[in-house]
Every structure is written in C-alpha cells, then in structure tokens.
Structure 1
Amino acid sequence: MRFDVITLFPELIEPFLRTGVTRRAFDSGAVEVRVWPLRAYADGNYRRVDDRPFGGGPGMVMLPEPLYRCWQAVRADRGLPPRRAPGAAVDVPTVLFAPAGAVLSHATVARWARPSQPGAILVCGRYEGVDQRFVDACVDELISLGDFVLSGGEIAAVALLDAVARLQPGVLGDADSASQDSFHPALDGLLDCPHYTRPEVWPGPAGPMAVPSVLLSGHHAHIEAWRRQQRLLATARARPDLLAQARQAGRLSETDERWLAQTLGL
C-alpha cells in the first residue's frame, strides 16, 4: 500500500520513517510513504500557501490552488487521471486531518492496513484550516485524533502511519503482539491488562511492590483468567462505553458478567 503525505513540513514526517520498529514496514516497502512539500506547488517568490479568511477573523486559511496542484501531481504520479469525474467511484481516497473528522479507531486503522487497500493521499492542514472548496472537491474522508486541536495534521498523519505499519506482518517482533493490544477484536474491544517484568519485587518510592502472584504461578489458565478480569476492570473504570459496546455485541461471557456483578456490581 502507498500513502502520499501533502505537507508544509516534510521534516516532521521523514525522520519518523527511519525510527523505531515500524521502520521495518517502510524499509521493506510493505507500507510505501511519499512526502510532498506543498510549497513546491505555490506561486510567487514567497511560495505563498495561505491568505486571510473572507469575512474577517483571526488566523490564515490554506489556499485551494496549491493544494489542488499538489493533489493532481500525486494522482499523476500514481498513474491516475488528474481529477475524478463527478460521481465516479473513489480510486485512491484523500484524507484530511481535521477536528470535524471521525475519531481514529482501531477499526479504522485495521481497514487502512489491509494489504488489498491502495493506501491514501493524506493532507496535513495548518493555520485556521483549509479552504472548504478544496475539501468539497477533493477530500473523501476526515479524520481526527480526538477533541483537541493540533498546530497541523502532521502528527495525526504520523499516528495513522504508525498504527497501520505496526499491523503489517513481520513488523512487530512477536506475531501475537498486535492481537493483544487494547481495542483489538481478539480482546473483544476491551482495554489491555496491566503488564509486569523483572524484578519480582520493586523497592518503589512508597515501599516494596510485588508482581501479582498469579503471574508467577505458571498456571496458564489462572493467568489468562486474571488477565481477562483485569481487562474488564480497566475498561469498566476508564472506558465504560467500550464495556457497554462489548456487552451489547454479546462479546462478554457468563463468567465475565458474573465477575463484573460480584466485583463491581455491574
């Protein structure tokens, strides 16, 4: 799959592609990323990409024309026509990172991570936003990281690329690692349980803190039961909405429900 990133700040994207475990996905070509500097498609000596908003107000708005030229260049590089015919099916989706977008979720990431997917054109907005005419003409999907505002879409683009890359086969050291992540269907969409490693007893700032004894027992059934209970507990405390979704979808067993009722009164 291939992702094209349209950005004013390529230097925010490129170092990420050479760092950490997800670098395996980018180096191998499992996830191809091409970065497109938007100013290269702007006019004038100053390569202007923004202007004041019509109607007044603070800040600046990204001009539609440089974005459109860059978008057309990306499509041409992909061997696609420079524009889609009205009503035509989406060939390669264009994504804009914006507060109005759907919050990025595991299900969305998993959809983008499928080998059959063509990837996407990722548009990193800046300033007060992007001229709505470009959005209406070229953007297929809006994505947000949550109910807060960033200075630009680059961090959101990196978050999507990282999440997609780590789901590619062979990227993580253990093939089961991704399936044990929070939100994964293998965990019924629950949050993951706490994790512990050496030493068995940590001195700690407030006194010795021991690893839960069940994890040292070697009894795999008991360990898995404890982990399931801890996932239920963490989800009930931090994300009751996820627990409600799992319950509504019938993903909680009778044992789960009995433990929740006895322990939390839920």
Structure 2
Amino acid sequence: MRFDVITLFPELFAPFLEAGITRRAYASGQIELKLWNPREHAEGNYRRVDDRPFGGGPGMVMMAEPLARCLAAVRADRVEEVPAPVVLFSPIGEVLRHAAVARWAAGPGAILVCGRYEGIDQRFIDTHVDVQISLGDFVLSGGEIAALALLDAVARLQPGVLGDEGSHQADSFNPAVDGLLDCPHYTRPEDWRGQRVPAELMSGHHAQIERWRRDQRLQLTARHRPELVAAARAAGRLAARDEALLERLAAGL
C-alpha cells in the first residue's frame, strides 16, 4: 500500500520512519510513504501557502491553490486506475477507531492532508477531500500528529511487523477480544516492592490463565468503557459466564 502525506513539515515524519518497531513496515516495502510539501507548489519568491481569513479574525488560513497543485502532483506520481481517497484530519471527522484502522490496513492506501494554522480554505475541502478523520474532541496545532497516529496504527497491523504475529490480536478494541479493553500485564520479578504477580498467571494452567485474562478484560471495560460491554452484548459476544461475572460486579460482589 502507499500513503502520500501533504504537509508543511515533512521533517516531522523522519524519526517515525527510522525508529521503533513499525519501521519494519516501511523497510520491507509493505507500506510506501511519500511526503509532499505544498510550499514547493506555491507561487512567488516567498512560496506563500497561507493568507488572512476573509471576514477577519485571528490566525491564517492555508490557501487552496498550492494544495490543489500539490495534490495534482501526487496524483500524477501515483498513476493509479482508481484514485486514492484524500483524507483530511479535522474536528468534524469520524473519530478513528479500531475497525476503521483495520480497513485502512487492508486497503491500497490514501493521500493524507495535514492542515495547519486556523485551517484550510473550504473550497479545497469541498472539491478534493473524500474522508475526514478526527482523533477526538481536542485540537492539535496541525494534522501531522494525527497522520502519524493513523500510519502507526496501520503499520503495526501489517504481517511480520510485530515480533509475534498474534500480538495485535489481543489489543484493546480488537474483535478477537470482542472489542473489550486489554487485560493487565506483568513481567519479572514475581514480587516487586511487595506486590506479587497474580497467582493465576503463575499457575501454568492455560485455561485458568485465559479465564483470568477474560475476567480482567470484562472488569476493566465495565469500569472504564461500559459502552464497549454493551456493544459486545448486543453482538452476542458475551457467554453466560461473562454475564454472571458482570452481574456480580454490578452488585458490588
């Protein structure tokens, strides 16, 4: 798959490509990433990419023309039969969740547009943007962090990127754990400052360990994200033993 990122700060992506476990996805060619700076497609000696907003107000707005020219260069370079979707990171977008990440991870890629300043000229958005994505109800100084979040989430789902092929199957929100939160994890030493590893994990009994992990996922999710438990129940993913545990938790037992 291939991702093209339109950004005024391509240097922010370099460390991401060279460090960390997800670099394997790029080194292996599973994901091709190209960075494009709209300033290189702006006119004039100053290569201006922003201007004051009509109607007044603080800040600057990214101009439509440099972005449109940059996008045209991306399209020409991709040479694709089916145009890749253009993604903008925006507060009005759908909040990014695991199911959407999984779809992107199985697709051919996209063109990611990183806004800056007060935003992007709405005419560019209306003309060219296909999908808008949000990371949540807060505002970033630019779309680069959001783009990195999507790229990281997609990269770790590629085969061979994680050391253990099954590592991401137990991640929070994964259908393999019925969309619940992940359970707590422990490592050596067995006793750390008077706190011991739960006996179930030391038992060597596989079924007992898996039951403990399931119970922990249910408890954590019911406490912190009850809507995920409700979704699992509505989808018929909870067994009778799961429901019995949740009833005990609700009763404070």
With the length of structure 2 as denominator, give the TM-score of the two structures: 0.97
* Distance in 2 (alpha carbons) for counterparts of 1:159 and 1:192: 19
Aligned residues between the structures: 252
Which letter maps to 1:74? Answer: V
SS in 1 for 2:146: helix
Query: CA RMSD, aligned part only?
Result: 1.2
The structural deviation recorded for 1:192 is: 0.2
Q: Which runs of 5+ in 1 are unaligned?
A: 82-89
Counterpart of 1:264 (choices 230, 243, 250) is: 250
Matched residue, 1:21: 21
* Distance in 1 (alpha carbons) for counterparts of 2:164 and 2:224: 27
Select between 168-177 and 35-44 the one with higher mean Cα deviation: 35-44
Counterpart of 1:159 (choices 139, 142, 149) is: 149
The structural deviation recorded for 1:265 is: 3.1
* Distance in 1 (alpha carbons) for counterparts of 2:137 and 2:48: 30
1:222-248 per-residue CA deviation (whole Å, 9 max, x = no partner) reads 111110010001111111111111111
Matched residue, 1:201: 191
Which letter maps to 2:203? Answer: S
Corresponding position: 1:130 with 2:120? yes
* Distance in 2 (alpha carbons) for counterparts of 1:43 and 1:211: 63
The structural deviation recorded for 1:13 is: 1.2
* Distance in 2 (alpha carbons) for counterparts of 1:43 and 1:93: 26
Which letter maps to 1:101? Answer: G
1:91-115 per-residue CA deviation (whole Å, 9 max, x = no partner) reads 210000111111111001100001x
Corresponding position: 1:175 with 2:165? yes
Matched residue, 1:3: 3
The structural deviation recorded for 1:80 is: 4.5
* Distance in 1 (alpha carbons) for counterparts of 2:144 and 2:122: 19
* Distance in 1 (alpha carbons) for counterparts of 2:46 and 2:112: 24
Matched residue, 2:97: 105
* Distance in 2 (alpha carbons) for counterparts of 1:235 and 1:46: 53
The structural deviation recorded for 1:212 is: 0.5
The structural deviation recorded for 1:38 is: 1.6
* Distance in 2 (alpha carbons) for counterparts of 1:54 and 1:248: 48
Matched residue, 2:86: 94
With the length of structure 1 as denominator, give the TM-score of the two structures: 0.92
Matched residue, 1:87: none
* Distance in 1 (alpha carbons) for counterparts of 2:219 and 2:32: 39
Which letter maps to 1:151? Answer: S
SS in 2 for 1:99: strand
Matched residue, 1:230: 216
Matched residue, 2:53: 53
Q: Which runs of 5+ in 2 are unaligned?
A: none
Select between 90-99 and 153-162 the one with higher mean Cα deviation: 90-99
Percent same amino acid among aligned pairs?
A: 69
* Distance in 2 (alpha carbons) for counterparts of 1:55 and 1:244: 46
Contact 1:14 1:35 (C-alpha < 8 Å) held by counterparts: no
1:143-168 per-residue CA deviation (whole Å, 9 max, x = no partner) reads 11111000000000011010000000
* Distance in 2 (alpha carbons) for counterparts of 1:80 and 1:255: 51
* Distance in 1 (alpha carbons) for counterparts of 2:64 and 2:38: 11
* Distance in 2 (alpha carbons) for counterparts of 1:160 and 1:239: 22
1:164-209 per-residue CA deviation (whole Å, 9 max, x = no partner) reads 0000000000000010100000000000000000000001xxxx11
Corresponding position: 1:79 with 2:79? yes
* Distance in 2 (alpha carbons) for counterparts of 1:218 and 1:33: 44
The structural deviation recorded for 1:12 is: 0.6
The structural deviation recorded for 1:56 is: 1.2
